[in-house]
Amino acid sequence: MIGDIPYEIVGGNLRRDDLVALLSLGGDEIERLFEKAMEVRKKYVGDKVHMRGLIELSNTCAKNCYYCGIRAGNKEVSRYFLEDDQVFHAAEFAYKNGFGSLAIQSGERSDREFIDKIEYLITEIGKRTNNSLGITLSCGEQTEETYRRWFDAGAHRYLLRIESSSQELYHRIHPRNAKHDFNNRLKSLEMLKKIGYQVGTGVMIGLPHQTAEHLADDILFYKRMDVDMIGMGPYIPHIQTPMWHDRGLLNSDKERFELGLKMIAVTRILLKDVNIASTTALETLSEKGRLKGILAGANIIMPNITPPVFAKSYKLYENKPISDGNVIPALEKLHADLKDNGLSLAFNSWGDSKHYFERNLKN
Ligand code: SAH
Ligand code: SF4
């Protein structure tokens, strides 16, 4: 048994109530949940952890999400856009160190200059690295034409978090206007899938007013949308945002961290063969948080390879860890910790989502 649920059922066809019960587990039961998630993870996606070298391309954003430190309305942020050479340098670093993949993330813009620039960078990275790096983009909502151009240039995965699958909660954390339209976000996910991307989504965990039922529904949303990748993590307040004022409503950092891990585990158990990232927000709330995320069922990490002077301006939330540029020693440490747990880092391999191929076989 895990909680009140027989062990055989966990891993089988979980209903909404079961998901809520698992997300509400406490004490020793949580370890049992993680063990089950590890079992499922090893069976469906193996014992490797794949890397995406994260490049935070620009902190300029046209949107105003209430939770995010780089929202357009935050006038205290010094805005940057990496020079082309800085991007190529980071990509070559990832290539030389066997990272296998890149993830390029940015504030959302939809002007021509931005669209052209992303297309150019993807094409040029391909040329300079022998087309040997997998490329994930996370650059927000765009038109179908833009998504297609970037796909044709060589990006093949796209991460667009739904943030919350509850429309009501989504509206609480975004301005109510055309730029922050829940249905457009859904439409974007559909477009990305149609074009042929491996599609990822995710939510923030521990938001004010969010319940275990909301989170269970988020996991059911992932399943219904048949996504290939999940990137989710605890919500962490940022002082220069409207939601800072609601921080009194939050559970403790420790509770939000633990809930983040439980979300990973339950998502792994239900969705099985998807890629799940152990995100930076976990590392922010707990020492070795990234490792703990992996041991709860995640199989992807995103080492930050943005030049540190810029990474500190890509501050989505308080206390975001800024690497001192010593990415490799940190990975060596992680690799040793993973080995102690029967896992290891994968080198020179894309680590595409197994689910993507299964999904396309069916269609
Ligand atoms: N602009 C793009 C990508 C960059 S933001 C987009 O919004 O899709 C990437 C993610 O950071 C967002 O999806 C959000 O889930 C997360 N994020 C932003 N502010 C956060 C906060 N205060 N706490 C935790 N995660 C946050
Ligand atoms: Fe911009 Fe993304 Fe932050 Fe929203 S979450 S303000 S779209 S960077």
Q: Is the CB of 259 under 6 A from ligand 2?
A: no
Q: Is the CB of 63 under 6 A from ligand 2?
A: yes
Q: Is the CB of 291 under 6 A from ligand 2?
A: no
Q: pLDDT of 334-351, one tens digit each?
A: 999 999 999 999 999 999
List C-alpha distances in Å: 283 to 27, 142, 160.
Answer: 21, 30, 21
Q: Give the nearest ligand 1 atom to 203 CA.
A: 15
Beta bridge partners of 56: 105
Beta bridge partners of 81: 58
Across the chain, mean pLDDT equals 96
User: DSSP assignment, residue 251?
Assistant: P
Tokens of 218: 């988020």
Q: Is the CB of 206 under 6 A from ligand 2?
A: no
Beta bridge partners of 158: 137, 199
**What's the average model confidence in pLDDT over 204-210?**
98
User: Using 50, 70 and 90 to split pLDDT, how confident is the model at 13?
Assistant: confident
- Site residues for ligand 1, CB cut-off 6 Å: 61, 67-68, 105, 107-108, 138, 140, 160-161, 163, 204, 233, 235-236, 238, 281, 316-317
**Is the pLDDT confidence value at 7 over 80?**
no
Question: Which run of H or E residues covers position 168?
Answer: helix 167-173
List C-alpha distances in Å: 153 to 90, 127, 229.
Answer: 19, 11, 21
**Is the pLDDT confidence value at 8 over 90?**
no
pTM beyond 0.95: yes
**What's the average model confidence in pLDDT over 267-279?**
97
Residues 278 and 171: their CA atoms lie apart, in Å, by 26
* Predicted pLDDT at 234: 98
Tokens of 56: 């935070």
Q: Which of 65, 160, 207, 320 to mutate to test the pocket of ligand 2 (most atoms within 8 A of CB)?
A: 65
What DSSP string runs through 29-82?
Answer: HHHHHHHHHHHHHHHHH-SEEEEEEEEEEE---S---TT-TT-TT-TTSPP-B-
What is the whole-number distance in angstroms between the Cα of residue 247 and the centre of ligand 2?
19
Which of these, 162, 138, 154, lies nearest to 196 by C-alpha position? Answer: 154
